[in-house]
Amino acid sequence: MTDSLFIIEDEALLGVEMARQFRKRGWEVEVATNLEAARCKLIEEGFDPLVTLADMALPDGNSLDLLEALRTKGHTGEWVLLTGYGSVPESVRALRLGAYDFIEKPCNVDRLSAILNGARRSARAQRQLRDQREVGGRLYLPEAFVGRSQPAQDVRRLLRRLAEVPFSALIIGGETGTGKGLVARILHHAGTRANGPMIEVNCAALPRDLLESELFGHEAGSFTGAKGRHRGYLEQADGGTLFLDEIGEMDLELQSKLLKAIEDRILRRLGGERPVKVDVQVIAASNRDLARQVRQGGFRSDLYHRLSVFGLDLPPLRERPGDIEDLVPLMVAEFNAVASKNVKVIPDRVYAKMRNYDWPGNVRELRNVVERAVLLASTDIFPEQWLQLGKGVGSVTVRSPHQVLPSQNEQTRSYGANASRVGGGSERLFDNGSVGPTVDDSRLIIPLDGSMALDEMDRFIIQSALKKSGYNVTATARALGTTRETLRYRIQKYNLRTEVAGAGSQTDEP
């Protein structure tokens, strides 16, 4: 992005001198000496500078009139206004029109340079946001939900209608991998709030205490480690859309607080006393049946009814197999570009195998299959041998008790009637004959005979990973594919701090 500065100054010598000074500071400078020349440059020629430095009173008019005309045309550059005398009404008008600053002449060049640098940072941020909106507007049209099947057409038809109305809340349902995130982005970028921000939150990825802080924000000193004020996701989404993915995982108490913020359009940061007004469109998504969770007491009924102004259930891929022939070419083209491949031909037998597969992971699984095949292709023909449908190549797969999971580069062997193999390693039997949890190098064996609860398995995995990393929390989090905050929460939850402290090793990287 060019650091362009437009100077509008009727004193010709002063304008030339300012241009010289700011060119030395890295700006690309254009100068106009009157309002008509500036209007011609900005409106007729389409010059769109990052920052405009304008004298307020020009021989042929007031610069604020030009600024107002530009704002109506969507001009996003910042304006810094100079004046030889202070005027309260003019100052108020300048700020109302969104001027970055309003200062009196004469002004020290270093002070003016500092102000222009601040205006440059602000203008860059606005341009970046504008560009993101334009890209989002092009990418996330209702047509981005691809498919010729009747279910896909029904979804697109509803997306077009929803994009035209200013709905306050909506719930997207459907199995994992059906495209709930894509639909949320379409609803935002094609909808009435496209000019506002879109904030996405995965409620399942953050522990309860951290999620509350991230949603509502906090003030400095509100808890240990809160060194400064933090604007939460709700506040960041003001004027736009908050997308709450996997909302069914949210704590019930936090659901109550979220409901009040949505209803009242007011929140309080943790540790804060001042209420903060917010105007947010909420899109929630879950692969769980939220209505059933309400009946079972796992989700608040009042929040559910507040969010379900509209409901949109996405069909699984197995119910629209005809859409595969529309989806696959788009994915192939994408991964061709990423990997510099040239896959052009997709044989009919490949499509036949895809149509006859159940796709438990839906479109996300299809995307992974296409990515693998394109990356490993050696010709322009889609390689059928790399479909590997249902085999989970390159991933950990849990099998039923009597199935065998092959390990890499070694002979497979059965691991007992009640054990599931997560990796290679030796067996250790409990006294009752079941296979107990064991560690061998970087692989684990976890029994599925009921001898270990889910939390015990989670604890065993984390404890084993901590031990392997020398009780380094950062390295352990990286190995487990999670964040340090989430890992620390689980260390505390499972009371693993004694083991960490007892090791006498560092618990984090320097």
CATH of domain 419-502: 1.10.10.60
3-state secondary structure at position 66: helix
Whole-number pLDDT of residue 299: 95
pLDDT tens, N- to C-terminus, the chain (510 residues): 568 999 998 888 888 988 998 998 889 999 998 899 998 988 888 888 989 998 888 888 888 888 888 877 767 788 888 887 656 677 777 777 778 887 887 778 888 888 888 888 888 877 776 666 555 556 788 999 999 999 999 999 999 999 999 999 999 999 999 999 999 999 999 999 988 889 999 998 888 878 888 899 888 877 777 777 788 899 999 999 999 999 999 999 999 999 999 999 999 888 888 888 999 999 999 999 999 999 999 999 999 999 999 999 999 999 999 999 999 999 999 999 988 999 999 999 999 999 999 999 999 999 999 999 999 999 999 999 988 886 644 333 333 333 333 333 333 333 333 333 333 333 333 444 444 576 665 677 777 655 667 777 888 888 888 888 888 888 888 888 888 777 887 887 777 754 544 444 444 544
* Cα–Cα dist 55/58, whole Å: 7
Q: Quick one: 13 exposed, middle or buried, by C-beta within 10 A (0-12, 13-18, 19+)?
A: exposed
Q: Per the structure block, which two tokens stand in for 15?
A: 């304008």
Res 328: pLDDT: 96
Strands (E), 98-240: 101-104, 169-173, 198-202
Q: Which CATH number fits the domain 319-386, given the four candidates 1.10.8.60, 3.40.50.720, 3.30.465.10, 1.10.287.3510?
A: 1.10.8.60
What is the per-residue pLDDT for 391?
61
- 420: Cβ contacts below 8 Å, ≥ 6 apart: 398, 399, 401, 405, 446, 447, 448
Backbone angles phi, psi at 269, to 5 degrees: -65, 150
pLDDT score, position 73: 75
How far the first Cα of the chain sits from its last, in Å, is: 36
Tokens read off for 175: 């199995």
Q: In the 8-state DSSP scheme, what is residue 434?
A: P
Give me the architecture of the 140-313 domain, per CATH: 3-Layer(aba) Sandwich (3.40)
Cα–Cα distance, 173 to 448 (Å, whole number): 30
- Same-fold call for 4-135 versus 140-313: yes
80: exposed, middle or buried (Cβ count in 10 Å: 0-12, 13-18, 19+): buried
- Yes or no: domain 4-135 corresponds to CATH 3.90.870.10: no
Which pLDDT does position 307 carry in this prediction? 96
Buried b (16+ CB within 10 A) or exposed e, 303-320: bbebbbebebebbbbeeb
Tally Cβ neighbours within 10 Å of residue 323: 21
464 Cβ contact list (under 8 Å, min separation 6): 439, 444
pLDDT for residue 432: 41
CB atoms within 10 A of CB 503: 13
Q: What is the per-residue pLDDT for 118?
A: 85
Cite the beta strand spans of 131-181 per DSSP E: 169-173
Q: How much is the pLDDT for 147?
A: 93
Distance CA 114, CA 110 (A): 6
Distance between CA 365 and CA 363 in Å, rounded? 5
Q: What is the pLDDT of residue 451?
A: 63
Give the pTM.
0.56
| Torsion-angle region of 267 (φ positive above 0: left; ψ -120 to 50: alpha; else: beta) | beta
Q: What token pair was written down for 427?
A: 């067996």
Q: Which ranges of 55-149 would DSSP assign to H, the alpha helix?
A: 63-72, 88-96, 109-139
16 burial via Cβ count (<10 Å: 0-12, 13-18, 19+): middle
Nearest CA to 491 among 468, 470, 469, 461? Answer: 461
The pLDDT value given to residue 402: 33
The residue ranges of every structural domain in the chain are 4-135, 140-313, 319-386, 419-502
